[in-house]
Amino acid sequence: MTTRRIIPAILAVLCLTLASSAQAQKTRIYNTIKTKLAAGKQVVGATITTSDPDIYCAVASSGFDFLWIEMQHSPLTYEQVARMIWACKDAPAIPFIRVPDATEGDIQKAMDIGALGIIIPMVDDVRKAQNAVTFAKYPPIGRRSQGGGQYGRIWGRDYRQTINENLMVVAMIENPAGVAIADKIAAIPGVDVVFVASNDLGSFSGYERDDPRYMKLVNEIKDKTLAAGKYLAGPSAWRDREGYLFFQGPSEGNLISSGAKVELAPAQGRKDVATGDEGR
């Protein structure tokens, strides 16, 4: 090949590379949880277990950063959750779904109905966390298939081109086996957040929360997660703990109860207001 042909070819490749780089930099980010965490801000999500769209919308518009839609420990169906998300698709709280397990079917359905966050319970195996990323993301990163769903009508026509950058995967560590490989879980590309499941960690370890052995497990997850450059998560009661940015907040039942106590407090001469401690 002559010099006259080589130089234009090189220039063409450079132009394509620059164009691709510029396009990547212009990827539209609509997951506000991602931008808030990147800015070092704390985010709190209310836990949703009911299928009532009115309650969902009330919580979604009340100031929480995201909604922890509970499909592991509730009878919620994907059809019900789809209706809830659609009913309040313009609410500021971003929908995250805790799926029952990291199966391709569960994650595909959660993505199709509009979730921007996938929460994976009981991660004590590296493959489980890897599968979550693989099933949730489109090629070339993952193997999510294209199909029907309301995701495009909620997040825009460029959803297919932007969702891989907007999706967040949260891995929950709930037992000592998960603690032992927390560094490997946190190191997986596509796992954004590692959640310390405070209640279950105590249940599976057999340690009370004031037991030094319990705190050793908690701190081991913390150290490994932060060392991997990932975000650390826990129950909302831990908002004053250093290093934690992502929190599971009270359920809608606890919020209603707290609201009622606030409303009735003046008449009853009470000043205390209690909230639920999640983080299962």
Residue 190, number of CB atoms within 10 A of its CB: 17
Q: What is the pLDDT of residues 238-260, one digit of tens each?
A: 999 999 999 999 999 999 998 88
**pLDDT for the residue 11:** 44
- Which of 18-22, 135-139, 252-256 has the lowest average pLDDT? 18-22
Distance CA 269, CA 26 (A): 55
* β-sheet bridge partners, residue 248: 45, 235
Whether 177 shows a pLDDT value over 60: the answer reads yes
Residue appearing with tokens 């999510």: 144
Q: What is the pLDDT of residues 37-81, one digit of tens each?
A: 999 999 999 999 999 999 999 999 999 999 999 999 999 999 999
Specify the CATH number of the domain 28-268. 3.20.20.60
What is the DSSP track for 47-102?
Answer: EE----HHHHHHHHTTT-SEEEEE-SSS---HHHHHHHHHHTTTSSSEEEEE-SSS
Whether 35 shows a pLDDT value over 80: the answer reads yes
Whether 6 shows a pLDDT value over 80: the answer reads no
Whether 152 shows a pLDDT value over 50: the answer reads yes
Q: What are phi and psi of 6, to 5 degrees?
A: -65, -45
Q: What are phi and psi of 29, to 5 degrees?
A: -105, 115
User: Catalytic site residues?
Assistant: 73
Tokens of 156: 């825009």
Average pLDDT over residues 217-230: 98
Confidence of residue 26 (pLDDT cuts 50, 70, 90): confident
